[in-house]
Structure 1
Amino acid sequence: MNKKRFLFLIMLLFSLLPITAEQYSFTSDFLKSVMAEGKENTLLEGNVLIQSEKKKIKADRVEILGKDFQFFICEGNVEVEDLEKNFTLTSDVFHYDNDNRIIRITGPSMMEDRENKMIIKCSYFENREKDDLIILQVGVRILKEDLACRSEFAVYYRDRNVLELTGLPVVYRKDDVFRASRITVDLDTDEIRMEGVVQGSLLSKSQDDNDAENNPAEVVEDSQADTELETPEESP
């Protein structure tokens, strides 16, 4: 099929979306569509590119399901660029609920947050766009200049630029190490709040202290926390 005509058919097909919905254009090497009521299904394969004013999605295969094309299932070399929030997601499988504006990724994924100069890696990723809230689970790694975080569960409030870490959380700030039951990090100020059983090691920077590495400074903890100083045993 002529590529220009193919693109026109795709744009015509998705012009049926409601005026209030986000408008998309699509290109791919192959298109198969079923529009019977209750069985709406569109399959795009080969060099798939989906674009709107807010997003750009690339994948090897995309299946679009539901009335008004509500659900996007993207597979193979998936790259999602959020043009509005200025971040990029990469994964093998990507699910998007277009009506509720929820992104879900199950499996290894990476987010490059250019706005906040941060890299996020995990094995479960959920972005609730309406709430500007990101939920991260399993092997969470968050890297920022002079700051690295590890945990099994994290919530990222992008509107406030705040991280909440639970599940064996560890925060590394330069040469300092912090562990607690819950750690909250303000990414704008690098302020760290710890709750529960707190452990930490702060490396003194005083030029008068000739043995800074063996003289950790006091850790400031939550009023109900127990404090223990320890030497860091691992690096991010």
Structure 2
Amino acid sequence: MQGFRPRGHLYRMQLLILLLLLAAGTLGAEQRSRSFTFSSDRSSTVLREGRERTRLEGNARIQTEDIVITANVIEVYGESFRFAEASGNLRVVDESRGIELTARQFFYDRELDVSRAVGAVYMEDTINEVVVRGGFLESLGEEDVILVQVNVRIFREDMTARAEFARFLRVEDILELSGLPVVFMNGDEYRASRIQLDLENDEILLQGSVQGTVSPRQQGGEE
């Protein structure tokens, strides 16, 4: 039949237009604003200048040089499509930093390398061997600092901590806790207004309203 177009023709055209826009935007962007690839079962695209936005639905996936984001729904938007928002069966893998993350919602600014996760956040840091849980997490990529809020739980071999706010300096391997922080380490319990942990050297600094319970150590194999 004359004029017939396959059902997937419009979808392929949308993808082609988006790829051309991404290529053009990437050439003019700063070096840190890297290009990315994407895939999904369905998509819709707004191409109006200043309002560019693409919505990916069903097995949605975007990938930069370092980060892979998979979810039920992902939206990319902004100049050179620098922003991404994802939700539903969310999983984020940052191989360069050794981080895997799940949450209900996720936001990523690939130009500033800043990300935020909201709702039942679970992060595993394989480099520093730390597992973090909380209600909200913000990652500042350039500084390699992670901020966690709301019912924070942190797990490491021989150490468990809880607080309402945590600041994790990954390069220094320093963990700062505030908001009724409690640390259980090697059978001991520590409480204070603020607690700082040097995870590499197993050192702990307590500040304000210090309390602790130290368990007796076994020496020379004696009970």
TM-score, normalisation: structure 1 = 0.83
Matched, 1:147 2:159: yes
Matched, 1:15 2:23: yes
- 2:181 touches 2:191 (CA, 8 Å); kept in 1? yes
- 1:183 touches 1:195 (CA, 8 Å); kept in 2? yes
- CA-CA distance at 1:51 after TM superposition: 1.1
After superposition, the Cα gap between the structure-2 partners of 1:185 and 1:40, relative to the gap in structure 1 and judged at 3 Å, is same
Amino acid at match of 2:155: L
**Higher helix fraction (1 or 2):** 2
- 1:59 touches 1:79 (CA, 8 Å); kept in 2? yes
- Structure 1 gaps, min length 5: 213-236
After superposition, the Cα gap between the structure-2 partners of 1:6 and 1:48, relative to the gap in structure 1 and judged at 3 Å, is farther
Matched, 1:110 2:125: no
Distance 2:192 2:47 in 1: 53
1:188-215 CA distance string (max 9 Å, x none): 111101001100011111448x9x9xxx
2:171 corresponds in structure 1 to 159
- CA-CA distance at 1:32 after TM superposition: 1.1
- CA-CA distance at 1:111 after TM superposition: 0.3
The residue matched to 2:25 in structure 1 has which SS?
A: coil
The residue matched to 2:142 in structure 1 has which SS?
A: helix
Amino acid at match of 1:103: S
- Structure 2 gaps, min length 5: 1-7
- 2:74 touches 2:84 (CA, 8 Å); kept in 1? yes
1:203-222 alignment, distance < 5 Å: 203-207=215-219
Alignment RMSD: 2.1
After superposition, the Cα gap between the structure-2 partners of 1:148 and 1:11, relative to the gap in structure 1 and judged at 3 Å, is same
Distance 2:20 2:197 in 1: 47
TM-score, normalisation: structure 2 = 0.87
1:157-202 CA distance string (max 9 Å, x none): 0111100000000000021000000000011111101001100011
- 1:132 touches 1:157 (CA, 8 Å); kept in 2? yes
Q: Percent identity?
A: 38
